[in-house]
Chain A
Amino acid sequence: MDLYLASVLTNMTLIAFLALSAYLVLVVGEVSFGQQAFFCIGAYLTASVTALAGAHIVWGLLAAILGGAVCALLLGLLTLRLSGLYFAISTLCFAELLRFSLLHIRFTRLIDGREIGPDGPEGFSNIRWIFEHNYAVTDFLLLAASCLIILLGLLFGLQRSHLMLTAHMVGHDPVLAQSQGFSPHRYRLGFIALSGAVAGFGGGLFALFNTHIEPAMFGVMLGVHGLAYAIIGGLGTPLGPLLGVVLDIGLLESIRQLAAYRMIVFGGLVALLLVFRPEGIASPRLVARLRRRWGRRRV
């Protein structure tokens, strides 16, 4: 496989995790501008566990999942009583707080003649696990893509489950959910923790693939893009966020002639979609009606 194509595909896969994490928050009716924080936490944790502690990536990625989930849960516990705009602002603040804190965190060790560890604004270099273990770009793509497919499979399996339907109910009409005995707060907390885990995992893979990470990579725009992909794609299916990723990174960023106009086209696309399909391309309504037409209902 062409190296360029492979790296674009890997990039799309990694960002897809971020978009899916934004999707999980949107499902329960909240908007987060801070998913890049969990992505960042996952990246730094995986880097630390694999490069600093020299452990296998399985442990690195597990740490990323756990770290992302725990941080998201804590943030949720602190801020979820706020809702709507205020929750969105607090997630943004958290992400920026984390990014600026990382500028001041220095913890490097000399391993095999290389300075390894987070070094403030210089970031964390020499995350060499995939080199040391002779992973080619295509191998890594395969690994990341299989993880994404497994996650999508899980989300698809759960799509018509009580859990997911209730989460959608909490998102669309929390009053209705409460009147049936479901606590919107608990569902939101659970899904935000889950979104932290997904973003953390994506961040872990991102660190391994990039071999170098620095705080500047996890700025607001990263989170905004992740969120935009989920909104463009729509909440009807877990494939929605993927659709957003394919549209933006797949079409605009990768076709080099278009790359210069990417933000113009992408911004315009978002504006058009908000006018014509405010619920996203694969909106819940559309997906539900398609499902009925194809006879895959479950009642």
Chain B
Amino acid sequence: MPALGWLPDYEDVGGAAVFSLQGVSKSFGGIKVLTDISLTLQPGQRLGITGANGVGKSTLINIATGFLKPDNGHIQLRERILTNRPAWAFAQAGIRRTFQTTRFLAASTLGEQLLLAARTPACRASLASLLKSSGLQSSLPLFADEIPLPMLRKAEVIRGLAVQPEVLFLDEPSAGLTANELHEFGHFLQQHLPQQTALVVVEHRLDFMTMVTDLVVEMHLNQGLHIGSDGC
């Protein structure tokens, strides 16, 4: 695919691709953070994105999940154009994410919050099977501040996977985990990620990336990025 940020030729990547983000740029005030980013994901693809602090990795996740609006560019999930839709529409369409600091409510138990994420019987069934194989069941009656961080990281992934998303974005899952815990988290991901779900991990830890992703790309400040159907 030619690197034409200003001419989004998303039509010809629409076929097999599950998620595509074309020609995205973003500046905050006068500071350009992203220029000409294109990213196309195939079903089941595992992609790692790394790069120095401040090159816009988190901005990219926030744009891809709808929490920030790009200045220009085009975002679509299968045939659905999501470019100017709010973040909840991204989530409803099947794009789920986790956060650098885990987000749970203080006044509901873990079980309640996971149930809240899985509203249909199908989601509830997949939640039940995820819980069974992950060993999180004993933590269900607990509140988030009573559960150790490694468990919360897994719970956040389970919360995302329960709805059988098309794409799952993980924003620095290693934050706060020891090497062992991270390794275990990697195993957990390998075991539980459905084949069809595309995964994007933004992360510094390359050992973890090599464990869970097929491809790692490095972002540089304002240099553009084209990952996609041509196999980059």
Contact = CB atoms under 8 A, between A and B. Distances in A.
Q: Do A and B bind each other?
A: yes
Interface of A: 160, 162, 165-166, 168-169, 172-173, 175-185, 236, 283-285, 287-289, 292, 297-299
Given A178-B86, A181-B163, A285-B107, 10 more contacts: A165-B116, A173-B103, A173-B105, A178-B87, A179-B99, A181-B91, A288-B109, A288-B143, A297-B141, A299-B111
A185 B86 CA distance: 10
B108 interface: yes
A169 B116 contact: yes
A25 B107 CA distance: 18
Given A175-B103, A179-B96, A179-B97, A299 B109 contact: yes
Contacts of B105: 168-169, 172-173, 176
Contact of A178 (B91, B104, B112, B141): B91
A299 B112 CA distance: 6
Contacts of B175: none
B205 to A, nearest CB: 23
Contacts, number: 82
Contacts of A178: 66-67, 86-88, 91
Interface in B128-162: 140-141, 143, 159
Closest 5 CB pairs of A and B: A299-B111, A284-B107, A181-B91, A181-B92, A178-B87
B112 to A, nearest CB: 6
Which interface class (under 10, 10 to 19, 20 to 34, 35 or more) fits B? 20 to 34
Nearest to B94: A181
A298 to B, nearest CB: 7
Contact of B140 (A173, A175, A299): A299
A183 B99 CA distance: 18
Contacts of A299: 109, 111-112, 115, 140-141
Contact of A160 (B89, B91, B112): B112
B141 A172 contact: no
A292 B109 contact: yes
Contacts of A185: 86
A113 to B, nearest CB: 58
26 contacts: A165-B108, A166-B116, A168-B105, A169-B105, A169-B116, A175-B99, A176-B104, A177-B88, A178-B66, A178-B88, A178-B91, A179-B97, A179-B99, A179-B103, A180-B96, A183-B88, A183-B89, A236-B107, A283-B107, A284-B107, A287-B107, A288-B108, A292-B109, A297-B111, A297-B112, A299-B140
A182 B99 CA distance: 17
Nearest to B159: A180
A284 B91 CA distance: 27
A11 B88 CA distance: 42
Contacts of B103: 173, 175-176, 179
Contacts of A181: 88-89, 91-92, 163
B142 to A, nearest CB: 9
Interface hub of B91, B107, B113, B141 (most chain A Cβ within 10 A): B107
Interface hub of A185, A297, A299 (most chain B Cβ within 10 A): A299
A182 B109 CA distance: 19
Interface in B172-209: none
Nearest to B102: A176
B55 interface: no
B80 interface: no
Contacts of B232: none
B65 A172 contact: no
A153 B70 CA distance: 46
B117 interface: yes
Contacts of B86: 178, 183, 185
B116 A179 contact: no
B96 A297 contact: no
A168 B108 contact: yes
Given A160-B112, A298-B112, A179 B107 contact: no
B112 A165 contact: yes
